C-alpha cells in the first residue's frame, strides 16, 4: 500500500457564488507549496462537478502529532498570514472536514515524490462518503466483501479507501465533523468513463437487488456521491 500518510483530511468548502475559480487559482499558485513546506502532503484539489460552489481537497500527514505541528506551522506562518483574507473571502463554510485513516491507498494515489502537474485534467475522481452508525459496525467487511467487487465489475476499482480516524481533534482551530464514515475514491479517464460506470452500476442486478438495499440499511443517512474534476495542479487525477 502507498505509505504516504497515516492521517488524511478530506475537506469540502462551500463558496460564494462564482468564487470557486478565484479560490482555486489562489490555492494552486500560493497555498500548495506553502503547506507542503510544513510537512503536509497535498494530494488532490477538485471542482465538484455537481455543485459549482463546492471546492474539495485532500491533504495527508505522517501521523497525528505531525498533523498538529504542520497545521500550527502553516496557519500561524507567513504564507497563510499573507493570503488568508483573500482565501476566506471566497468561503461561506469551511467546516465540512473529515479526519480519516487509510484502509487502502493504491498505486494510483499520489505518493510523496509524485510530480505535481501543471496542466488541466480531463479525468474524473468519483466515489462516495458512507455515513455509518459506529466504528465497530462491521461496515468495512461489508464494503470489502460486497461493494468492492461490484465497483470493480462496473469500472470503478477504488484507488483509495478511507475510514474515520476516531481521535481528538489536535488542531481545534479547524473544526471536524463528528461522525463515522467510510470514503472510497476511484479514477476515471474522462466523463464518458464515469457515465459508463454509473450506467453499468444502475443496470447491475446484484447491486440493485442485494448490495444497495443492505448499504441503505447499514448507513444512517443517504450516501454522498462524489464526482470531482482535478484542478490544474492536483496530483490525484
User: For 92-149, what is each residue's pLDDT tens digit?
Assistant: 999 999 999 999 999 999 999 999 999 999 999 999 999 999 999 999 999 999 999 9
Whether 220 and 214 have beta carbons less than 8 Å apart is answered as no
**Model pLDDT, residue 4:** 86
User: Which residue stretches of the chain have pLDDT < 50?
Assistant: none
**Model pLDDT, residue 2:** 79
What are the grid coordinates assigned to 97, written together? 472536514
Whether 185 and 226 have beta carbons less than 8 Å apart is answered as yes
**Model pLDDT, residue 1:** 65
What are the grid coordinates assigned to 161, written together? 479507501
Name the nearest CA neighbour of 63 among 41, 82, 44, 48. 41
Question: Helical H runs in 41-190?
Answer: 64-75, 78-88, 139-142, 148-153
**Model pLDDT, residue 46:** 98
Amino acid at each position: 500500500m502507498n505509505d504516504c500518510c497515516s492521517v488524511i483530511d478530506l475537506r469540502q468548502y462551500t463558496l460564494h457564488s462564482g468564487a470557486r475559480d478565484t479560490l482555486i487559482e489562489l490555492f494552486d499558485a500560493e497555498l500548495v507549496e506553502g503547506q507542503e513546506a510544513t510537512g503536509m502532503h497535498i494530494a488532490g484539489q477538485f471542482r465538484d462537478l455537481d455543485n459549482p460552489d463546492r471546492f474539495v481537497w485532500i491533504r495527508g500527514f505522517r501521523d497525528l502529532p505531525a498533523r498538529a505541528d504542520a497545521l500550527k506551522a502553516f496557519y500561524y506562518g507567513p504564507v497563510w498570514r499573507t493570503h488568508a483574507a483573500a482565501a476566506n473571502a471566497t468561503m461561506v463554510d469551511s467546516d465540512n472536514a473529515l479526519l480519516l485513516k487509510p484502509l487502502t491507498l493504491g498505486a494510483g494515489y499520489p505518493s510523496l515524490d509524485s510530480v505535481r502537474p501543471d496542466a488541466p485534467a480531463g479525468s474524473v475522481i468519483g466515489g462516495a462518503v458512507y455515513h455509518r452508525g459506529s466504528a465497530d459496525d462491521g461496515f468495512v467487511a461489508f464494503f470489502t466483501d460486497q461493494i468492492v467487487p461490484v465497483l470493480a465489475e462496473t469500472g470503478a476499482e477504488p484507488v483509495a479507501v478511507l475510514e474515520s480516524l476516531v481521535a481528538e481533534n489536535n488542531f481545534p482551530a479547524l473544526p471536524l465533523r463528528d461522525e463515522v464514515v467510510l470514503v472510497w475514491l476511484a479514477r476515471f479517464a474522462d466523463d464518458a468513463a464515469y457515465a459508463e460506470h454509473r450506467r453499468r452500476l444502475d443496470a447491475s442486478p446484484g447491486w440493485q437487488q442485494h448490495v444497495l438495499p443492505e448499504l441503505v440499511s447499514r448507513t444512517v443517512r443517504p450516501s454522498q456521491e462524489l464526482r470531482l474534476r482535478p484542478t490544474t495542479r492536483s496530483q490525484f487525477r
